[in-house]
Structure 1
């Protein structure tokens, strides 16, 4: 297909991050949606309701009294074999926590947008990754997006990943509150036929409305029964998701012409002495910092972690072999330990021959702005650490008063 005819098959709209997600859910043809509105996720719920009311989306929308009920409703719907969607964040995700475990352990390919927001107190509605990072052990795939187009594309990809027979795990698509959710950017919407071809819907095997093959689920398991094996299979499915995410990304690029990275995205890392590792919108800004410092003669690169679960150990080790220092910027905090991404990276590189220096940085908590100048200064500081003694002196608290 020529570039001109391909362009004619697409439409570009100026969309907020929330509306980009809603359009993606519409084009994915989700058939069951249940959400409880919570700032800054509300725009997703409103737009999907509008699509259904106007007849643009053929789906059942179930309004509920809580996030716990929203996930319970999605679990019930997914057990009938229909494509489902929900969205939440922050305290809503915390309230949903019990059912988050049920969704993954029941091996249901639910897709949920998490519009990352700080968990209080004190009360705060701005961006932070702590809400979704705190769910990292629930068995959900977690994909973090850095801009509006990536949020749209990742929702489409999430259904293909989740519904793969070798995966069958739910997916969180994470975008930062207000930073992405309430700002607007051009978003390319693909042709509906291409989306349908990319994610054809085939109901999964373990549905409870098949009267010829009835099943039950969630029953009591004694220690000598199969609980241990179920968890092992979840872990194996998460490993299988790594390959599926990569293949999905490659196929997506062939059809739609865009690639946001597979499990990670490298930017000018090949010869970099210092690499800045981050998730979400900070990763896009890090590319600008790299460009500025490259012009000044610094060998720097940026590495975006797209998949936090499954954690891309092999990809990170491969990058670590080529660099001297990795600066990790976490927009989350585990009090008493530090940022989760830095902790996971250090565990991944433990015992690694020629392990680079790892500098931990916590930044942007409670939605505090992380400026381009701060990221540039952080990278320059890494060079000073290498020149002096090569040993970082604890966590860097970027922007702390």
Structure 2
């Protein structure tokens, strides 16, 4: 059973977190994440949320508080954006490398400068090597559902890694959509209480947490962390299937394939611009063009094998639409991830990097149709090392 609501993305994030019954919440408000904290505080004041709410003076403190709670075996939640994420980076990195499972929402915002509060994915994309699992979602329903899924993934004994649920600021965080909110009973059926077996912190029995080790111990830590990230690939797919059986909604796990059966030209998308990409694919299918779309839901761990499986031998060219940049490559960040995945398995496809939506700019249907035109032309006349196209 569920109740249909009209919710902003931030409301969906707050309700999703509350349904998972966290023990401790600590968050500092920052645009466009602020109303996540406000909604959680209101639910707490109304007696609808029994978590311990901790008011902190900064994002660094917020992550430090939930880190301590996680060490004591608690289920925790926080949320942030942009400069707030940058300020919490030190304990943020430690959260993953100490293998403390939790969920944190990131309402994506472009990083300064020039000064901006508007949408972009540069904040979360820039920390993709911090050891966290990263989801990128398309709409407000997926925000709520992915937060619930993420706790089950993070707390799996083969994973034990914190999870970011990333959604585009303003385009999702502040806009209202229809969202089905499941009952507490159904969520409890899907997500059992958190009973960690790897946490031994007890004030009655003090221990040294995160002591300094030599290089051999660091090698062991990183090796185990990478193995857990790879184990998460199967866990993510399996949890999504289980979620679909329980709630009647699923998202494809690591990626969503859209009209890919006989596609010869493929667009990759990430985040809320996926809707415009699907509309463009539908228009071109009506014209008889064999085009398809792959929505990348999980940037870390990167779903290389799922992507390779989706790109059948009929695919002749690809285009990747990014809402962030890779400063070292003069392309979008996702474009480099996709091309590296293909190259690592000996698959060579001509591709174009498209960059748009920075600093709150929209990625429209016209942008997506222009991108498809460029990739169709590339398929007809393959060219490698083609220049990046800016969707401005």
TM-score, structure 1 as length reference: 0.94
Q: 2: CA distance between counterparts of 1:325 and 1:388?
A: 10
Partner residue of 1:290? 281
Uncovered stretches (5+) of structure 2, i.e. residues with no partner = none
Partner residue of 1:4? none
Partner residue of 1:133? 125
Q: 2: CA distance between counterparts of 1:212 and 1:41?
A: 37
Residue 4 of structure 2, aligned match among 3, 12, 27: 12
Q: Deviations over 1:297-347 (max 9, x none)?
A: 111111100000010010111123331111001110122312111111111
**1:110 Cα shift?**
1.4
* 1:54-73 alignment runs, 5 A limit: 54-73=46-65
* 1:254-333 alignment runs, 5 A limit: 254-322=245-313, 323-333=315-325
Aligned residues of 2:351 and 2:375 also touching (Cα < 8 A)? no
Q: 2: CA distance between counterparts of 1:351 and 1:42?
A: 41
Given the superposition, is the C-alpha separation of residues 164 and 215 from structure 1 closer, same or farther in structure 2, using an over 3 Å criterion? Answer: farther
Question: How many residues get paired?
Answer: 390
Q: 2: CA distance between counterparts of 1:215 and 1:14?
A: 47
Q: 1: CA distance between counterparts of 2:286 and 2:17?
A: 41
Query: Is 1:364 matched up with 2:380?
Result: no
Uncovered stretches (5+) of structure 1, i.e. residues with no partner = 1-8
Q: 2: CA distance between counterparts of 1:188 and 1:48?
A: 18
Q: 2: CA distance between counterparts of 1:213 and 1:196?
A: 32
SS of the residue 1:381 aligns to? helix
Given the superposition, is the C-alpha separation of residues 231 and 292 from structure 1 closer, same or farther in structure 2, using an over 3 Å criterion? Answer: same
Aligned residues of 2:75 and 2:194 also touching (Cα < 8 A)? no
Given the superposition, is the C-alpha separation of residues 41 and 351 from structure 1 closer, same or farther in structure 2, using an over 3 Å criterion? Answer: closer
Aligned residues of 1:385 and 1:391 also touching (Cα < 8 A)? no
**1:31 Cα shift?**
1.5
Partner residue of 2:375? 382
SS of the residue 1:61 aligns to? strand
**1:353 Cα shift?**
4.7
SS of the residue 2:280 aligns to? helix
Q: 1: CA distance between counterparts of 2:263 and 2:204?
A: 59
Q: 1: CA distance between counterparts of 2:361 and 2:183?
A: 38
Residue 341 of structure 1, aligned match among 316, 334, 340: 334
* 1:16-55 alignment runs, 5 A limit: 16-55=8-47
Query: Is 1:222 matched up with 2:214?
Result: yes
Given the superposition, is the C-alpha separation of residues 268 and 203 from structure 1 closer, same or farther in structure 2, using an over 3 Å criterion? Answer: same
Query: Is 1:166 matched up with 2:190?
Result: no
TM-score, structure 2 as length reference: 0.96
Partner residue of 2:89? 97
